Amino acid sequence: MAGRPPRRGASGRDGAGKGAGPGGPGRSRTTKRPERARTGPRTSALDAAQRAAQVRGDAAAKHAPWRPGRSANDDAPESFDEKPARAPRTRAAPPTGAGIAPRSRRPADAASPQPEPPTRREQRAAASATLASGVQTLTVEADEAGMRIDRFLTTRFPQLPFTRVQSIVRKGELRVDGKRAKPSDRLEPGSSVRVPPLKLEATTERPRSATRDATDADFLRSLILYEDAEMMVLNKPFGLAVQGGSGTVRHVDGLLEALTGPDGQKPRLVHRLDKDTAGCLIVAKTRLAAATLAKSFRSRSARKVYWALTAGVPRVHQGRISTYLAKEEPTDADARMRVAKHGDEGAAHALTYYAMVDNAAQKLSWLSLKPVTGRTHQLRAHAAHIGHPIVGDPKYFSVENWELPGGIQNRLHLLARRIVIPHPRTGKPIDVTAPLPPHMAQSWNLLGFDASRYDPIVEAPEA
């Protein structure tokens, strides 16, 4: 019995494990198993996760662009032996204890005051300063209520040519609340306007400078016929375009930049005149005034009187011209207008009252015209329609074997003589009259017309 191995029991296998197991003397298997179960697998998983995150970070670091405020070492791969992978960065606020400055994307003096956040007006100005390269959605604000679609885009993107604005709307690239819109559609506050990618073509316009702004401001002030805090009426000269277009660098809309006020508001156009038409042009100084004045034009509360020198003498000295007008080329913003029929594509009703004030030897007539509607080239097309086109009109004058009388310049003889419109704040009528431009004054003197003569169109019916 002395040679038999000891009985396995309390002092057997378990006892040997307690005394000299694989872990060494004094370590117990029963103690080590839970310890390995608690720490071994977790430590292994954490190491694997850290190493995988580090590998992903190294791969991303190779392609990550450099950003201001970060050093080259920020994205450098770290050694696995030195320290574990960094924990993901959080958006928690940085500590603000003494000597600790919040991290900035660009170096700055910690002691210098932080710049104030931009105002809403500054944000909108910055947004319009750079045209978007992708699709964007704009929200119509309260002070933009009632604006035409094309006017809204021109206001938001002043450097975008008006012809481009019209093209965007005409081709259906713009959506209002998810639907296609026409250039003449009016916007409601809160409406969503989806704008396609916009590109600004190279322009030959010189960059603005303080000297140029001062010169432009002085020029515009020399044209003012009426002015108050809400509006002004300019005497637009012959040959000066109201808005920019193909090949047009100098125009009223661009010149108005020089009159931008301290609050950042630029005077706004309310209506338009043809480039070669002289006379009264209303400009609003505030967005609210612009909306109110535009509403007056839409409701026909504004009364306009034009003077023209025409070929021949109308058989009926006072009359009414009522037609439908449509563009000969719908894709051309400055296309010639033709008399159309009701129902024709793009046809719109146009109504004009006229009266002959005087004539010269039955060859030329001084007509006073009052448009009730405001169609493109309406007066020029209507004068040609009744057989008495306006002298100097390059688009509509087509009288055969007609020679320009000596001393009369071959320029469009059309003047926006007078405008009466309710004031945007008080509602009281503002009545402004423009003088004859130099070339028309020369013709009036040559033909013996008296500009102070009674104008019968004043008594013509309103509609």
User: Residue 370 in contact with residue 296, Cβ under 8 Å?
Assistant: no
Residue 274 among the catalytic residues? yes
Q: Which of 267, 273, 257 is nearest to 287 (CA)?
A: 267
User: Where would I find the H helices in 329-437?
Assistant: 378-385
Q: Which residues pair with 297 in a beta bridge?
A: none
- Rounded distance, CA 57 to CA 82, Å? 16
Instruction: Give me 398's structure tokens.
Output: 């087509």
User: Residue 213 in contact with residue 206, Cβ under 8 Å?
Assistant: no
Q: Are strands 175-176 and 192-195 parallel, antiparallel or unpaired?
A: antiparallel
Amino acid at 178: G
- Rounded distance, CA 286 to CA 225, Å? 18
Distances (CA, A) of 8 to 12, 29, 124, 290, 458: 4, 17, 89, 105, 130
User: Residue 192 in contact with residue 137, Cβ under 8 Å?
Assistant: yes
CA 339 centroid distance within chain: 33
Q: Is 211 exposed, middle or buried (0-12, 13-18, 19+ CB in 10 A)?
A: exposed
Q: Of the listed 274, 276, 393, 455, which one is catalytic?
A: 274
| Helices and strands of the chain, counted as H and E runs | 10, 17
User: Residue 174 in contact with residue 194, Cβ under 8 Å?
Assistant: yes
Which residues are marked as active site? 274
